[in-house]
Amino acid sequence: MVMFKVSRKATSPIDGQKPGTSGLRKKVTVFKQPNYLHNFVQSTFNALTLEKVKGATLVVSGDGRYFSKDAIQIIIKMAAANGVRRVWVGQNGLLSTPAVSAVIRERVGADGSKASGSFILTASHNPGGPHEDFGIKYNMENGGPAPEGITDRIYDNTKTIKEYFIAEDLPDVDISIIGVTNFSGHEGQFDVDVFDSTNDYVKLMKSIFDFESIQNLLASPKFSFCYDALHGVAGIYAKRIFIQELGARESSLLNCTPKEDFGGGHPDPNLTYAKELVARMGLGKANSQEEPPEFGAAADGDADRNMVLGKRFFVTPSDSVAIIAANAVQAIPYFTSGLKGVARSMPTSAALDVVATNLKLKFFEVPTGWKFFGNLMDAGLCSVCGEESFGTGSDHIREKDGIWAVLAWLSILALKNKDNLNGGKLVTVEDIVRQHWATYGRHYYTRYDYENVDAGAAKELMTYLVKLQSSLPDVNKIIKGIRSDVSTVVQADEFEYKDPVDGSISKHQGIRYLFEDGSRLVFRLSGTGSEGATIRVYIEQYENDSSKIGKDSQEALAPLVEVALKLSKMQEFTGRSAPTVIT
């Protein structure tokens, strides 16, 4: 057994290591600075209780982006030096974010060990490569992101750190080969266990969904399927689940080989960045002659996000979670005994609220970021939840789950078509969505993103909007001056959330303007960017007159969009005449 020594290294604080909505994300060039990663990792160890470090089992893996392999070796050496007993690494350092959550919750080592936490190496949907982003976040024993109390402590530690511990002489472990390597340090044995990245996750999916009914759907000549992993880690799960387990054709997969730079693309599953899929589904401008598939989906870099498409049809993520919730009990065996409750993030449309009211389900509105759903799930209050930002999931893990969402949709399609796979007309994705609108009404919805704007200007815009809220008559005067045909604002505030489980309060979670007819304008600053600021504007309008639910959403929302941009003086503050991304 190779012996190692522990070195204590002097270091000093580095500015700007505050974890955002989902961990610390910066340019690779920043992470490569001497001690940058080391300081953050040591600050995390110091923020955890002793039993989560000494003798503990730690998962370390991620979406495989550039710098991951170097980072994994550094973290292994620091884990050994800090007294961690064993590190579990997905083969080639690959584990999707939902798979990490599943591994923490479900995997049991040969000696009965269970993981107490994980470093996830990802910057999610941000591009990768030597000049792009890297990221690291810590997940807890329940499989979910560290709560604010811990991330605040990590940040405080980064501001005072003086030393870190590392086993410099520990040789690099070959993470491409499955197997356990043992080392010996002065505190005892230390193991690195490289394991199959897909097994635990696939096993969990098989326990949730009826794979046989999905197989039948995929085998039907009437049905066709396309999945785009955008060169992220989802590719390895897509190959295993959709091809090997469910029998889809190889040609159904696009960009399913993970790449360190995501093939130079932006691994974000939306209509702007999932270009190939969008074209194949007949939604692009240059439609090919070929008949598009019936169902298409994409994932982001770490496979927690999903976009669902029908033939020439886009399903908004807000509608997607509502439709999954409305059909879950009938379509998905895991939910047969009923839903405990449902939840959405504040800026997500109220489509889910209407389902909750109709089905008499517990309902929660939480701030942006998946961590807020975790407490509800741990307390048994929530089964299905989602965010407008292409995040959908359930209490099977404590992260959103891109592949799960696709399996949920395939299950719904399988259910709706169970009697007509050989006979009648296929019930399509579009049919399911339109039927849902006819039953529950439609929430027209769009989001405008202004990326990488000057941070000072973004802050001024937000301050201006908050100040404006002090007088509703003034707000309404301005709005009616912009468009007389929009409804009246009846409430304006900054969203604040009191966690019903632990009573913690999260303030300043976005500025809301709520209209009498159920429309909403929401403004918030992104917490995941790595440069400048990103302003997000969320625009929503409810329509339950069945003769008015078939409009183009940008057309239907045009008056409210105009109000949002003029009310916030977007162009004056930011100098931008148009958003960088519209979803």
> Which residues are the active-site residues?
124
Tell me if residue 150 falls in helix, strand or coil.
helix
**Cα Rg for the chain, rounded, in angstroms?**
24
**Contact flag: residue 210 with Zn ion (CB under 5 A):** no
What the block records as the tokens of 529 is 């960017």
**Contact flag: residue 527 with ligand G1P (CB under 6 A):** yes
**Contact flag: residue 389 with ligand G1P (CB under 6 A):** yes
**Contact flag: residue 370 with ligand G1P (CB under 6 A):** yes
Q: How many residues bind ligand G1P (CB under 6 A)?
A: 14
Q: Quick one: which segment of 384-392, 472-480, 495-503, 537-545 binds ligand G1P (CB under 6 A)?
A: 384-392
- Report the distance separating Cα 117 and Cα 105, nearest Å: 10
Q: Figure out which of the listed residues 64, 267, 341, 369 binds ligand G1P, where binding follows CB under 6 A.
A: 369
Kindly state the smallest distance separating residue 536's Cβ from ligand G1P, in Å. Answer: 6
Kindly state the smallest distance separating residue 371's Cβ from ligand G1P, in Å. Answer: 9
**CB–CB of 305/269 below 8 Å?**
yes
**Contact flag: residue 540 with Zn ion (CB under 5 A):** no
Q: Which does 394 bind (CB under 5 to 8 A by kind): Zn ion, ligand G1P, none?
A: none
**Contact flag: residue 304 with Zn ion (CB under 5 A):** yes
Q: Figure out which of the listed residues 17, 19, 21, 313 binds ligand G1P, where binding follows CB under 6 A.
A: 21
The residue among 183 and 372 lying less far from Zn ion, judged by its C-beta, is: 372
The residue among 200 and 304 lying less far from Zn ion, judged by its C-beta, is: 304
Give, as one character, the DSSP assignment of residue 126: S
Q: Figure out which of the listed residues 43, 91, 124, 446 binds ligand G1P, where binding follows CB under 6 A.
A: 124
- Report the distance separating Cα 74 and Cα 86, nearest Å: 14
Q: Which does 368 bind (CB under 5 to 8 A by kind): Zn ion, ligand G1P, none?
A: ligand G1P
- Report the distance separating Cα 414 and Cα 403, nearest Å: 16
Give the residue from 144, 68, 449, 94 showing the smallest Cα distance to 303. Answer: 94
Residue 261, Cβ density class (10 Å: 0-12 exposed, 13-18 middle, ≥19 buried): middle
Ranked by CB distance to ligand G1P, the top (closest) residue is 526
- Report the distance separating Cα 4 and Cα 576, nearest Å: 55
**Contact flag: residue 345 with ligand G1P (CB under 6 A):** yes
What the block records as the tokens of 510 is 């976005």
**Contact flag: residue 126 with ligand G1P (CB under 6 A):** no
Q: Which does 302 bind (CB under 5 to 8 A by kind): ligand G1P, Zn ion, none?
A: Zn ion
- Report the distance separating Cα 188 and Cα 183, nearest Å: 8
Kindly state the smallest distance separating residue 136's Cβ from Zn ion, in Å. Answer: 13
Dihedral of CA 554/558/564/570: which sign?
positive
- Report the distance separating Cα 306 and Cα 266, nearest Å: 14
- Report the distance separating Cα 257 and Cα 274, nearest Å: 15
- Report the distance separating Cα 304 and Cα 124, nearest Å: 8
Q: Tokens 């303030």 map to which residue?
A: 507
**Contact flag: residue 302 with Zn ion (CB under 5 A):** yes
Dihedrals phi, psi of 122, to nearest 5 degrees: -165, 150
The residue among 310 and 391 lying less far from ligand G1P, judged by its C-beta, is: 391
**Contact flag: residue 124 with Zn ion (CB under 5 A):** yes
Q: Figure out which of the listed residues 300, 387, 401, 543 binds Zn ion, where binding follows CB under 5 A.
A: 300
**Contact flag: residue 526 with ligand G1P (CB under 6 A):** yes
Q: How many residues bind Zn ion (CB under 5 A)?
A: 5
**CB–CB of 233/90 below 8 Å?**
no
Tally the residues of the chain. Answer: 583
**Contact flag: residue 387 with ligand G1P (CB under 6 A):** yes
- Report the distance separating Cα 385 and Cα 548, nearest Å: 28
**Contact flag: residue 392 with Zn ion (CB under 5 A):** no
- Report the distance separating Cα 13 and Cα 18, nearest Å: 12
**% helix / strand / coil in the chain, to the nearest 5?**
35, 25, 40
Kindly state the smallest distance separating residue 218's Cβ from ligand G1P, in Å. Answer: 29
Q: Quick one: which segment of 37-45, 150-158, 383-391, 429-437 binds ligand G1P (CB under 6 A)?
A: 383-391
**Contact flag: residue 82 with ligand G1P (CB under 6 A):** no
Helix (H) or strand (E) segment spanning residue 262: none
Q: Which does 536 bind (CB under 5 to 8 A by kind): ligand G1P, Zn ion, none?
A: ligand G1P
Kindly state the smallest distance separating residue 566's Cβ from ligand G1P, in Å. Answer: 23
**Contact flag: residue 520 with ligand G1P (CB under 6 A):** no
The residue among 263 and 527 lying less far from ligand G1P, judged by its C-beta, is: 527
- Report the distance separating Cα 21 and Cα 388, nearest Å: 15
Q: Which does 327 bind (CB under 5 to 8 A by kind): ligand G1P, Zn ion, none?
A: none
**Contact flag: residue 541 with ligand G1P (CB under 6 A):** no
Packed helices 36-47 and 148-160: angle between N→C axes, nearest 10 degrees: 130
Kindly state the smallest distance separating residue 139's Cβ from Zn ion, in Å. Answer: 13
DSSP assignments along 151-212, one per residue: HHHHHHHHHH--EEEE-TTSPPP-TTS-EEEEEEETTEEEEEEEE-SSHHHHHHHHHHS-HH
The residue among 19 and 93 lying less far from ligand G1P, judged by its C-beta, is: 19
Give, as one character, the DSSP assignment of residue 548: G
Kindly state the smallest distance separating residue 376's Cβ from ligand G1P, in Å. Answer: 15
Kindly state the smallest distance separating residue 303's Cβ from ligand G1P, in Å. Answer: 12
Kindly state the smallest distance separating residue 448's Cβ from Zn ion, in Å. Answer: 21
Chain residues in the site for Zn ion (CB under 5 A): 124, 300, 302, 304-305
Chain residues in the site for ligand G1P (CB under 6 A): 21-22, 124, 345, 368-370, 387, 389, 391, 526-528, 536
